[in-house]
Chain A
Amino acid sequence: NAGVTQTPKFQVLKTGQSMTLQCAQDMNHNSMYWYRQDPGMGLRLIYYSASEGTTDKGEVPNGYNVSRLNKREFSLRLESAAPSQTSVYFCASSEGYGGGNTIYFGEGSWLTVV
């Protein structure tokens, strides 16, 4: 019953440091997503991956990179963290083909950049 698992749950970074958020899903889903959630702004799409080997930019991709390592895993990297990247990050997955598929979320990663 794992669903979507993301690590770490909490992280504090200094400005300029780098880190990678890891995400894995065990539902055999084709598509995976990274969102960030900020107060008053809902969820904004950072990057998504339609299938293994493909990635595309979402609404707010600047300052981030992603890797779709295989069908299960989709990582998000901050190369040089900035205070503006302080946020809650959610990984998600969906079936991908056809419309009307529920998107399932991980538990979230709370990132603070000081």
Chain B
Amino acid sequence: ELKVEQNPLFLSMQEGKNYTIYCNYSTTSDRLYWYRQDPGKSLESLFVLLSNGAVKQEGRLMASLDTKARLSTLHITAAVHDPSATYFCAVDLPTSGTYKYIFGTGTRLKVLA
């Protein structure tokens, strides 16, 4: 059974400082997805990492993938205007003619004023 674990579960951030969310998964996979969810909203795709060593950056977010360690990291530089959001990682698993996506439990972020 594929397990996807994130830590920390909660993160209180100070403006301008850098933080890291870790995503570990239990099966061999070359693909890892990061999503963001604002409170009361749907999930929005941030990054799709498709190979070992992949790195993607968008603004104050940077994600990387180490398939040998089965680990992805999401680096965030906090900004005071950031609303509270929850970040999820996910891994896809081939099954029955498609792929099913297994998500981590999420990391809830809050920027302290």
Contact = CB atoms under 8 A, between A and B. Distances in A.
B105 interface: yes
A33 B42 CA distance: 14
A96 to B, nearest CB: 4
B97 A54 contact: yes
Interface stretch (A11-19, A77-85, A103-111): A103-111
Interface size grouping (class) on chain A: 20 to 34
Contacts of A104: 45
B31 interface: yes
Contacts of A48: 98, 100
Contacts of A106: 42
Majority secondary structure of chain A interface residues (helix, strand, loop or mixed): loop
Contacts, number: 70
Given A42-B88, A56-B95, A100 B103 contact: no
Interface string A23-61: 000000011010100001111110010110010101100
A102 interface: yes
Contact of B42 (A44, A90, A99): A90
Contacts of A30: 98
